[in-house]
Chains A and B, each alone.
Chain A
Amino acid sequence: EAQVTQNPRYLITVTGKKLTVTCSQNMNHEYMSWYRQDPGLGLRQIYYSMNVEVTDKGDVPEGYKVSRKEKRNFPLILESPSPNQTSLYFCASSLTYSGANVLTFGAGSRLTVL
């Protein structure tokens, strides 16, 4: 089944403890992206990647890192999480980056930072 898989789905952590949210897609998509969803704010893009080794900042990149060493994987790294990073995170991918291409979303990762 074609899908985007995120792990963990739920995580509670403490301020300053490094964590990684993994994202993997099995569709050979070139484009991958991370969004965060907050009540009343909709979805905002954190980082995106056009292809392997090509990443760029989205609208809200502060406090996050990403890497794209393989086409299928696009992990989101929080080096020193803070409470304002408590949010619902979505990874998404599409075949290429073209505005006409539809994004396939993962099921989401709910992160709580205490």
Chain B
Amino acid sequence: AQSVTQLDSQVPVFEEAPVELRCNYSSSVSVYLFWYVQYPNQGLQLLLKYLSGSTLVKGINGFEAEFNKSQTSFHLRKPSVHISDTAEYFCALDSGGGADGLTFGKGTHLIIQP
């Protein structure tokens, strides 16, 4: 069975400060990993994805994530956050073995303080 653990349910951070949102996963096979963002009252949209190749993945809005196979992690980072980054962030995993969809973490609410 596969699973995704987002270690923090809420992360408060001051504007222009760096942020890291943590994600660990468990899977017995190779995985594809995703970060999705949900702005207030909206659906989810893709921030970035890791399929293969370079372990450092860059996404939209200045976010990046690093795939670490030995630590089974896929942490999301941004060097300087803005008020507009306030949102719910979901880490998700797919083992590529079937059509039963993504396994999502429970989400991390990023709260930007002025």
Chain A residues within CB distance 8 Å of chain B: 4, 31, 33, 35, 40-45, 48, 50, 56, 58-59, 90, 92, 97-100, 102-103, 105-108
Contacts and interface: CB of A to CB of B under 8 A. Distances in A.
Contacts of B49: 100, 102
B101 A45 contact: yes
A59 B1 CA distance: 12
What are the 7 A-B residue pairs with the smallest beta carbon separation, nearest first? A99-B96, A99-B94, A105-B43, A42-B106, A97-B99, A43-B104, A42-B104
A31 B99 CA distance: 9
Interface of B: 6, 9, 31-32, 34, 36, 41-46, 49, 51, 90, 94-97, 99-102, 104-107
Contacts of A102: 34, 46, 49
Nearest to A9: B41
Contacts of A90: 43-44
A3 to B, nearest CB: 10
Contact of B96 (A4, A50, A100): A100
A79 to B, nearest CB: 23
A40 B9 contact: yes
Highest count of chain B CB atoms <10 Å: which of A33, A48, A100: A100
B5 to A, nearest CB: 11
A59 B32 CA distance: 19
25 contacts: A4-B43, A40-B9, A42-B90, A42-B107, A43-B90, A43-B104, A45-B101, A92-B44, A98-B96, A99-B31, A99-B95, A99-B97, A100-B32, A100-B49, A100-B51, A102-B34, A102-B49, A103-B44, A103-B46, A105-B43, A105-B44, A107-B43, A108-B41, A108-B42, A108-B43
